[in-house]
Amino acid sequence: MALLAISASPRKGGNSEQVLNSFVGGASTAGRETEIIRLNGLNFRPCQACGLCAATGKCVLKDDMQFIYPKLLSCEGLVISTPIFFGTIPAQLKMFIDRFQCWWYAKFKLKKPFIPNEGKKYAFFISVGALKKKEHYQCAQDVVEVFFHVANFQRKGSLLFRGYDEKGSITREPQNLQKAFQAGIDFVTSLHQR
Ligand SMILES: Cc1cc2nc3c(=O)[nH]c(=O)nc-3n(C[C@H](O)[C@H](O)[C@H](O)COP(=O)(O)O)c2cc1C
């Protein structure tokens, strides 16, 4: 699969998901296989800090995350789209990210590279919030950046949509979805040019 898309909002068809759908639409138009995963629809627990992954690089919790790890390994590119909640990412996305502590052990302690001889893969970050100040989006971007680093992704680009609160308000300016659509095309095209 070329593009794995993670939708972090609990609001189905909300602003960040609409932008993500456009991004993925662009990728599909460019002829690439895509898959969207809604985190809110998954059944998974937060990291329990049990430390068992320190020896193996693998998480022992048996839940939907076990289907997600292989998808992250096999995708060519990754896009995460998230709303801003209380100045950062929503709990669903934080829970998802924390479950990659096993990869942190694998990469930095056990020195088991997950993507041998391939180097880093590309990722894209999208966020949508009600507030207008750019600094307000920095915390979310920083957290996701740490995740990209641990999971061996290099951020290729990002889109911030500021000042959108009520559901569907993102479509107020049609150029928002057009921008995301074009970014999706450009992103998957860049995957080929590596
Ligand atoms: C629990 C909660 C907390 C929020 N906190 C913030 C915030 O700190 N900053 C902000 O700009 N918007 C905040 N918002 C507004 C959302 O980011 C905004 O409505 C966004 O468009 C939601 O995207 P979605 O439709 O994809 O869920 C919050 C919304 C909720 C439900």
Distance of CA 103 to the CA centre of its chain: 16
CA 42 / ligand 1 centre spacing (Å): 21
Domain span at residue 18?
Answer: 3-192
Predicted confidence at residue 64, as pLDDT, reads 98
Number of domains forming the structure of the chain: 1
Give the C-alpha separation, 100 to 69, whole Å: 9
CA 98 / ligand 1 centre spacing (Å): 21
Indicate the length of the chain as a whole number: 194
Residues in contact with ligand 1 by the CB-under-6-Å rule are: 9, 11, 14-17, 83-87, 128-131, 136, 164-165, 167
Give the C-alpha separation, 176 to 51, whole Å: 43
CA 125 / ligand 1 centre spacing (Å): 16
CA 25 / ligand 1 centre spacing (Å): 24
Give the C-alpha separation, 169 to 176, whole Å: 10
Contact between 73 and 115 (Cβ < 8 Å): yes
The residue whose CA is least distant from atom 19 of ligand 1 is 165
Does this model's pTM top 0.95? My answer is yes
Q: Which token pair is 17?
A: 């998901």
Residue 117 has pLDDT above 50, yes or no: no
Q: Which residue has the higher pLDDT, 46 or 191?
A: 46
pLDDT tens track for 133-183: 999 999 999 999 999 999 999 999 999 999 999 999 999 999 999 999 999
CATH number of the domain where residue 44 is located: 3.40.50.360
Mutate to test the pocket of ligand 1, among 88, 165, 166 (most ligand atoms within 8 A of CB): 165
Element (H, E) at 162: strand 153-162
CA 167 / ligand 1 centre spacing (Å): 10
**DSSP 8-state code for residue 51:** -
What is the share, in percent, of the chain residues with pLDDT greater than 90? 92
Atom of ligand 1 nearest to the CA of 8: 26
Residue 32 has pLDDT above 50, yes or no: yes
Contact between 10 and 40 (Cβ < 8 Å): yes
